Chains A and B, each alone.
Chain A
């Protein structure tokens, strides 16, 4: 009798919290459904953003093709950050000497007309294929899984459709998949969560990129977490600009919180 009330209270609290949990999920589901107007699906092959397989030769050809010299130049001005961490203690040497990094003049300025890259794309493709062939991924099962995965992606492709049909969420997810490299051999790699606050300008270019759990990452004894953080930042930079988003929805995707955490493969 003495414990009746507390027990009852505890049970009710459990039910309530469960209810809140379920309810909130339900609400979220509805919101998700709203964002994807399934009825407007117009399959436009040209605009479909498929999660492409990373680094096939064709992909590289495409991405190289679209780069004009002007774009190169505009991408150029990287502030020549003075190299702060120039020297680490060399293991075999007793006394580390400093490699004095000379102050660098902006290379872009120095070189007024960036030369057109003299790419032989066929050679590129052969080289990549060759280097792939030299790493015989003899685990046939792995390959089969990869193929199955690709097939699945193709089936799901309708969701990751063109600018007109796809939600910002689907778009970003599809965009990140080929760019985000996950080191599956890292210790506890599925726990290495990286939270990013990303703001974009209206052209989908990155204006700010902040790591929200940076302190946690640095404090962790698992250094692979830092590498995971760098992989995320590199992926976001490499995939930019995010110009497949509807400009009318700019308010929605102007700032985003992105949580990178490898799921089950």
Chain B
């Protein structure tokens, strides 16, 4: 009773307070300056002007043009930039050490300008300089000089692209990187699959390992020096290591059992893979120095395709322990297994983004295949990025923004191709390869 009385009195008091507070709030709202919440923009690419680099020597004229083209192509392929056609340029810079006429560039709506030049120091040595200008801010955003041999000009161009990308997006670039993949030839029923490597833009493609007829799932070590892959040279599938600089090749562990699905840990010190014993595949991890192997899963279901989180603390893998193939995460020691995929269809081939925030995967549902991403922490916010007869095996660009995958087409004469998609689901592109190709794996940024 007493309590009720008390609370009534308080009620009255609170009502008064409410009124006062509300009045105060109202006065605030009324007198505040105009405040506008802007939530809508657009996802169009940024317009950027990349004139041919200046060249003071006829020997470097060609490279000066080609560099601007390679940089433009890099940036445009990212989907975040649109390189303006050179015919639109009003100002023709003759010296990159002068500030550009910003108004001329504003007129053609360029937001950024890249001006560069090549200085030939000797027959065997070039200096490449570039400056990145903010057209609306009227300031230089970046300026870097590189020195190199003339035959190395493409890498310098990619380095310039990386610097521009980093400065304008705030995130690391991915252009000075390579892709290892499986080059395919022959009919579907007698396919020859060999290891090949190329630059991220498809240039400089070459066979890495001739001889073996069936080689699959190559993956880069964090050093970008070594790859791990799968080969049937001994008659069964086994994991190999290959040093791409020296060509030295090593059969990993020489297990009596079939091994598959290898991937390096983010520190490069260990290798995670699946081993099959009596038909059952489980996830194992091998310390590459001590050569000691530890079993991480003991389930009687298929446990395959493990992939480390970039901090090395977690592993995502594929298992059909629940009846259908789904994605699971666990701690690096195998504890704390949790299912993270709950959508429709079958989930396979997970790959943890190097940025850490997303896990890419392959989903198949109603006879269609999709590359999708899911929030790595929550397992939510699933987005399917692609749709085709057969999309599979996502691999991330070193900055975690772009995904490469294998796309297969139907039928006896069906092709296998490498495609790329942005993590937003935009900017779907076919990656040029000399012939049919599959199982791409992106290297880290080259040192």
Which A residues are closer than 8 A to B by beta carbons?
A: 1, 4-5, 8-9, 12-13, 15-16, 19-20, 23-24, 27-28, 31, 51, 53-55, 60, 63-64, 67, 72-73, 75-76, 78-81, 83, 85-88, 90-93, 96-97, 99-102, 104, 107-108, 111, 114-115, 117, 119-120, 123-124, 127, 131, 135-139, 142, 168-169, 172-173, 176-188, 222-228, 230-231, 233-235, 237-238, 252-253, 255-263, 265
Contact = CB atoms under 8 A, between A and B. Distances in A.
Interface of B: 3, 6-7, 10-11, 14, 17-18, 21-22, 25-26, 29-30, 33-47, 76, 79-80, 82-83, 85, 87-88, 90, 95, 97-104, 106-109, 111, 129, 131, 134, 136-140, 142-148, 156, 159, 163, 168-171, 355, 357, 385-386, 401, 422-429
B42 A23 contact: no
A97 B128 CA distance: 12
Contacts of B168: 227, 230
Given A78-B103, A85-B143, A187-B355, A55 B47 contact: yes
A53 B7 CA distance: 59
B39 A262 contact: yes
Contacts of A238: 106, 109, 111, 136
23 contacts: A5-B3, A12-B10, A24-B22, A63-B109, A73-B103, A83-B131, A99-B97, A99-B129, A104-B98, A114-B104, A135-B76, A168-B34, A169-B34, A177-B41, A223-B170, A224-B169, A226-B170, A233-B137, A235-B41, A255-B34, A256-B36, A257-B34, A260-B41
Contacts of B143: 83, 85-88, 99, 101
Contacts of B44: 54-55, 181
Nearest to B353: A187
B301 to A, nearest CB: 34
Contact of B99 (A20, A104, A138, A188): A104
A263 B17 contact: no
Given A20-B25, A87-B143, A142-B425, A72 B107 contact: yes
B17 A92 contact: no
Contacts of A67: 107
A173 B36 contact: yes
Contact of A185 (B29, B41, B80, B131): B80
Given A12-B11, A180-B42, A100 B26 contact: no
Nearest to B401: A185
A120 to B, nearest CB: 8
Nearest to A60: B109
A181 B90 CA distance: 24
A87 B226 CA distance: 33
Contacts, number: 263
